[in-house]
Amino acid sequence: MIYNFFYNLFGSEIIAGFISAALPLLIFILPFALIAVLLERKVAGHMQDRLGPMRVGYHGILQTIADIIKLLQKEDIIARENDKLLFNIAPILVFAGSYAAFAAIPFTSAYIGANIDLGIFYIIAVTGLVVAGILMAGWASNNKYSLLGAMRSAAQIVSYEIPTILVVLTLVMFTGTTNLMTLSENQTALFWNWNIFGGPELSLAKFLLIPFMMIAFLIIYISTLAEVNRTPFDIPEAESELVSGYHTEYSGMKFAMFFLAEYANMFAVSAIVSALFFGGYHSPFGYLGNTLDIQWLIPVEQFFWFTFKGVFFVFVQMWLRWTLPRLRVDQLMTASWKYLIPIAFVNLLIVGIITLI
């Protein structure tokens, strides 16, 4: 969609493709990462009865900009025993997998990188590059801590993709689509039409589905926490035993690429959860643009609501980080294979039966 707009504007496939690919990074992901890192420090500080960064700028507001300047100036260190080719490719691959997911996420009804019919499954598939990149980073580092962190991460991400896919199948069976744009549009612009409340159709099934939709939401949200290595599932990076895990040996901008990919992933999974269950970019109360008959205002409002919902779920991820202790490896696997997967499977069957009835 956005590609067609720029192609019609410039008449060049190369220019249209380049701008379409760069827009989410330049106008959304980089600013979001800067704000989210500062927000995490401030959330952590206030939850622990302290202030967080305060020195650079008013109340430390420029601290993340100072960090970026510092990372740009740091020496790019590669140890003699590293596998240099894989070591250099790994952060690029991890970031590429995270960034590619944004292609199928609808920011507003007027902006989506690629309106793919299999959008949600494309996102699940392309983020598999992250697993390959993390394994590559751990192996190429020639460091036992890094390798152990990479193996933990691969096992964790693959395990928690199963309940995620089961929940996605539940939504596909209920809505009949895997296109995130269509899925968002089906939920319309009032909160009682959201999938978390049984969808837009007023019927007995709507009220029967509400508890099972809430269960599905909790399962996919917990699973996405594990897939982006957030507490209590951050054992691949566990500083207490792995000294940062798979990115221990990285410095400068290579480390920053892992960091940026993590925050991009945090927002991506939050956006997917909001699109699946909470109306996506839709307002919960209708649009001021419709009331004032200003049609160009509607996409602006949609972008606000899309960002607000995504940032709210990112905030919850940060909240959990400073609330819950880290799980052990066996507890993490138990949570997925013994609890989330069976519950998600039974939930899928029940939703299917209610939908058929």
Cβ within 8 Å of residue 192, ≥6 positions away: none
Positive or negative, the Cα torsion across 37, 39, 40, 41? positive
- Give the per-residue pLDDT at 341: 93
Q: Is residue 186 within 8 Å of residue 177, measured between CB atoms?
A: yes
Q: How far apart are CA 139 and CA 133, in angstroms?
A: 10
Whole-structure pTM value? 0.89
Nearest to 352 by CA among 93, 123, 170, 103: 170
Indicate if the pLDDT at residue 1 is higher than 70. Answer: no
pLDDT tens digits, 119-141:
888 888 888 788 888 888 888 88
Q: Is residue 317 within 8 Å of residue 270, measured between CB atoms?
A: yes
pLDDT tens digits, 251-306:
888 888 888 888 888 898 999 999 999 988 888 888 888 888 888 888 888 989 99
Indicate if the pLDDT at residue 69 is higher than 70. Answer: yes
Indicate if the pLDDT at residue 178 is higher than 90. Answer: no
Q: How far apart are CA 351 and CA 54, in angstroms?
A: 50
pLDDT tens digits, 190-242:
888 898 988 788 788 888 889 999 999 999 999 988 888 787 887 777 777 77
pLDDT tens digits, 26-41:
778 888 888 888 888 8
Give the chain's radius of gyration (CA, Å).
21
Q: Round the average pLDDT of the chain to a whole number and report it.
A: 84
Query: pLDDT class for 112, splitting at 50, 70, 90?
Result: confident
- Give the per-residue pLDDT at 344: 94
Indicate if the pLDDT at residue 337 is higher than 80. Answer: yes
